[in-house]
Structures are given as C-alpha cells and as structure tokens.
Amino acid sequence: MKIKLLFTLALGALITMSITSCQKGDLESNPNAASASSVLPLSLIINNVTANFILTEETPFGGNVYKYDQYQVSNYSKYWGDNTYGWSYSADSYQILKYAIALEKQAKSQLGTTNNKYFALSKFLRAYSAVWLSQRVGDIPMSQAGDPSNVTPVFDAQKTVYKTALALLDTANTIMGTVNSAAGNASAAFDGGDIFGLTNLQWQKLINTYKLRVLISLSKRADDNADLNIKSQFAAIVTNPTAYPIMTSNSDNMVYKFVASNLYPPYAQGNNAYNNFQNVGETVLSITRTNADPRTFLMACPITGGGIGSFSSYVGGVPSSSLTVLQNQGATNVISAFNGMRYFGNGFVSAYTLTTYEPFIFIGYPELCFNIAEGINRGWAPTLTATDAATWYNNGISASFKNFGLSTTSSSTVTISNVAGSSLGTVTTDNATFLANVAYNTANPATALTQILNQKYVALFMNSGYEAFMNARRTGVPAFSSNGAGTGTTTGAIPRRWLYPLSEINYNNANYLAALASQFSGSDDVTKDTWLTK
C-alpha cells in the first residue's frame, strides 16, 4: 500500500479544532490543515470511521456484492450490469486502517492511557481491516502497515494476519471489559459520533461476535494449525459470557440506519424503470421454497399466473444464465422480482419510512447463532452437545424471522406485493410446516451442518456484505450456480479470490511479487485458493 496516504486522513473533512492562526502574509502555513502532532477530536474520528465502515458496494442494491452472494440477479445490463464473476483488482480496506491508526494515537495521547474504549476500538478496527482484505487476496502487509517511514511494508503470511487479528480482538475485549466494569459504563452510549448508536457493552459484544465469525471462517485450518487455538478460543467465548459477552438479541445488531437523505435502497420510491430489471436469485429461493419458508413471501413477488400463497409461484433467476435469457424471463415475469413493498416502498413512499422495510444488518445476532451452532456441530466446544447446537440453530431462525417482522411461535398475515409496492393480497403463514421441514437433525451431524449453513445463508439475505459469499466459498453450501454463460469466467467456475489492489501493485511492487511467488507460483491468479480456503 502507499503508506503515506494512510496519514492524510481526509483531514479537510475530519478535523475541527483550534489552530493557531498563521501570521499575516505567511503563504506557506495553511490554517485549515493539521500536522502530525495536532489534536484530533475523538468524536470526529469515531464519526468518520463508523460512517465509512461499510462500503457503498456492501449496502443493499449498492453494487455487485449481493449478485456475488447470488441473492440479486440482473436481467438488464443498462440498469444493473451483468451477473458475471469477472473479477479483477480488489478494493482495499486502508480507509479503515488509517482511522484505526489515528484513533489509537489520539486516544493514547489525549487520555494518557491505553485502557480506554477508543483504544480498544482501534484494535478492533485494525483486526477488521486486515481480515477484510486478507480474506479477499491472501498475504497482506500488516505488521509493518501504518509506519510512515516505511512505504514498502512486507507482506505477512495469511496465517500470521489471522493470528495477529485474533490477538487484537482479544485485547479489544479485555480493555472493553475493564472499561465496562465501572458502574454505569456498560449501559452508557459509546459517545463520540458513533453512527450505529451502540452502547459500550454492545461494542464489546460486537467485538466478540465478530471474533466468532473470524474463528468460524478458519474452519478449514482448525485441525492443522494447533498454534492458532481456533477451537479453544471458540469454546472460551461461547462458554464464558461474563469474560466474553456476545450479542443476545437483535437489539445488539450493528444496523446501518437509512434516512431521508440516504434512502433505502438507492433506487426506491416505486422507480420501476430500475427495479423491474432485477430479480431474486434462485439460489436462495430454492431453499426457502423447498422448506415452505414464510420469509419467501417477503423476499419476492409471485410470477405471472401463480397463486400468491403457493410457494411454487416464487421462482428466482438462475445467476449463471445468460443475460439474454434472464431478460426474456424478467420481461415475461416467469422469474420473481423483489417484494416492492418491503424493499422499494409503496408507490412513491420511500421504503425507509415504512415499518416493513429491510433493516440492513452488517454484523448481527442471527449470524452469531448459526456460527455458534456450526462450531458446536464441529465439536469445538466439548462441553456442549447436539442439543445445544439445535438450540442455537433455532435461535438463529427465530431471530431472522423477527427481522422480517415474523414470528416462529405464531402465524402472521403477510401482504404480498408486486415490484411497484402495490398489494396483491395477503397470506397467513404456516409456521408449523416450515419448522417441521427444517427441524435440526441431532442424529446426523453432516446433515445438521448443511441445515445450519443453509439457514445462515437465508438469514443473511441482502445483509452483511460479502459474508454469504465467503461462507459458500468456504463450505460449498449452498451450491452456487456456475458454469453457465452468465458466470463470465473462462473456466465457468466462480473465482476463489480477487487480484491484489492496484495501489499495492503500483507502490509496493517488489513485496507484491514476492507474495505472489510464495503463494501462487508467481501469478496473481483468481482461480487459486489462499491458505484460508485450501
């Protein structure tokens, strides 16, 4: 990376502070610029890092992410592009890293100690930034990243990146635990511009919830890297909520809140010129349809000629199909569009004002439940049983239902809409049939694991950025549609990684080439697995 850029910090937008005015006629001093020794208000750093934590492409309908997750399928290139996996250079996470560095420095210098919540958050941000990029490309600069005197940091092995990130998250939890042990601190708002509106305790829960996500992502390496202590770290968190508090309900979710100036989604308000040209993916609807899942009615619109209460009326677009095929299917309404009332609003009422709109969860409780169920299923918590795994699995389904405005304990009346948000009628949900179809198989761990992964995939629908893709890449569940004209790769297979960011190639070329040689025989090849997924 071009490390010097990490310290520019977009200061024009970041900093509001008292600055000694320049002398009259001094053309070299800029009164609006800050030096490396300037005091930056912690509130402004927090505001900027939380506002920039989620990339635009990771928001619903904001980019290609949910097409890569196979939740969303374009049927017309003019408005929504294609559905190909023709990946090239990865984005980077250096924006988050630079804020972490600034927060770490300012928290220590202003508060005179590292035992404060801002310093703890800086450790979480460092870990998150590193994992975000490493899971996309492989080895990355980490140990030397952020040193302004070193513009060509070495690449750390991916295993080292993850080991370091896990240690950073543990440090963050320990500090937050100390902070929250003081009377009144745990329930206090994490002041300082946090756009997510979390309390101090909720940030600690989020840190540990995210750590469980990272540990589960290492499932392929749990048995051949004893020094990472993946299983014991997992067990420590799930069996000791006092030392490692985790999310306990949807109220702890990290939710991005859309407002009038930032509509959900980008093309809202019954704008059919855009919304008619996309469909729900068959990868997810094949799961919900098969299980008679009531969430189907809130995800999608029924196809032409189908009864609104019949699950057979909800058919997704196959992501690997050619755009020509999908365009014809979309035009004749033989594949399902998104439920307009839930996702785009009713007529010209924007969706963000409706009680039924989709809450955009980035790190949430339903995923946590399935991650814990998966870890128990894999035997990572020896004191917990298949019954415990079933409990967490059921908790995940229940929490996901609540995010859809549904309940697993009682039936609901669901309004079915077309893509414009106009009502087509109502359906009463049949929870008993669905719950019987997805009942956790305590007798067969392999079958139960597939159930966990499928239900996690459904729960992540149009949420959590790349997480659904990362899970499918790691486990093969659900089986993603590929090898068709729409996949867009020479082999027909979905890529296993991205190319390195151009900034790395251009400014740190020698170390970039060395990383390629050690991982992929010298080729920046998207078909190759990294250490994480081999």
Structural domains of the chain sorted by starting position, each given as residue range(s) with its CATH number in brackets? 272-475 (1.25.40.390)
Whole-number Cα distances in Å, 281 to 37, 108, 310, 412: 51, 48, 18, 25
- Give per-residue pLDDT as tens, 256-312: 988 767 777 665 555 556 888 999 999 999 999 999 999 999 999 999 988 999 999
Report pTM: 0.93
Q: Which of 195, 223, 247 is nearest to 53 (CA)?
A: 195
The number of beta carbons lying within 10 Å of the beta carbon of residue 456 is 28
Tokens (6 digits) for 339:
């439920």
In angstroms, the CA 199 to CA 284 distance is 34
Between vectors from CA 98 to CA 93 and to CA 100, what angle results, nearest 5°? Answer: 95
Tokens (6 digits) for 291:
């299980």
Question: In a structure prediction context, what are the per-residue pLDDT tens digits for the chain, which is 534 residues long?
Answer: 443 333 333 433 343 333 333 333 444 444 454 555 688 899 999 999 999 999 989 999 888 999 999 999 999 999 899 999 999 999 999 999 999 999 999 999 999 999 999 999 999 999 999 999 999 999 999 999 988 899 999 999 999 999 999 999 999 999 999 999 999 999 999 877 899 999 999 999 999 999 999 999 999 999 999 999 999 999 999 999 999 999 999 999 999 988 767 777 665 555 556 888 999 999 999 999 999 999 999 999 999 988 999 999 999 999 999 999 999 999 999 999 999 888 887 654 555 555 556 789 999 999 999 999 999 999 999 999 999 999 999 999 999 999 999 999 999 999 999 998 889 999 999 999 999 999 999 999 999 999 999 999 999 999 999 999 999 999 999 999 999 999 999 999 999 999 999 999 999 999 999 999 999 999 999 999 999 999
Tokens (6 digits) for 65:
């992410």
Beta strands (DSSP E) in 381-496 are: 413-417, 423-428
Radius of gyration of the chain (CA): 24
Which letter, b or e, does each residue of 381-401 get, where b requires 16 or more Cβ atoms within 10 Å of its Cβ?
beebebebbbbbbbbbbbbbb
The number of beta carbons lying within 10 Å of the beta carbon of residue 30 is 11
Q: Which residues does 158 contact at the CB level (< 8 Å), separation at least 6?
A: 134, 138, 139, 140, 530, 531, 532
Tokens (6 digits) for 128:
């998150």
In angstroms, the CA 210 to CA 198 distance is 15
Bridge partners, residue 73, by sequence: 279
What pLDDT is stored for residue 306 in this prediction? 84
Dihedral (Cα; 308, 310, 313, 315), 10-degree rounding: 120
What pLDDT is stored for residue 26 in this prediction? 43
Residue matched to tokens 């402004």: 44
What pLDDT is stored for residue 148 in this prediction? 86
User: Which amino acid does the sequence have at 17?
Assistant: M
In angstroms, the CA 433 to CA 444 distance is 21
Whole-number Cα distances in Å, 52 to 58, 90, 94, 195: 11, 17, 11, 10
User: Which amino acid does the sequence have at 230?
Assistant: I
What pLDDT is stored for residue 264 in this prediction? 74
Residue pair 19/12 in contact (Cβ under 8 Å)? The answer is no
Q: Tell me the three state secondary structure of residue 295.
A: helix
Question: 3-class secondary structure for 99-165?
Answer: HHHHHHHHHHHHHCCCCCHHHHHHHHHHHHHHHHHHHHHCCECCCCCCCCCCCCCCCECHHHHHHHH
Distance of CA 171 to the CA centre of its chain: 22
In angstroms, the CA 399 to CA 12 distance is 41
Q: Tell me the three state secondary structure of residue 89.
A: strand
Residue pair 122/100 in contact (Cβ under 8 Å)? The answer is yes
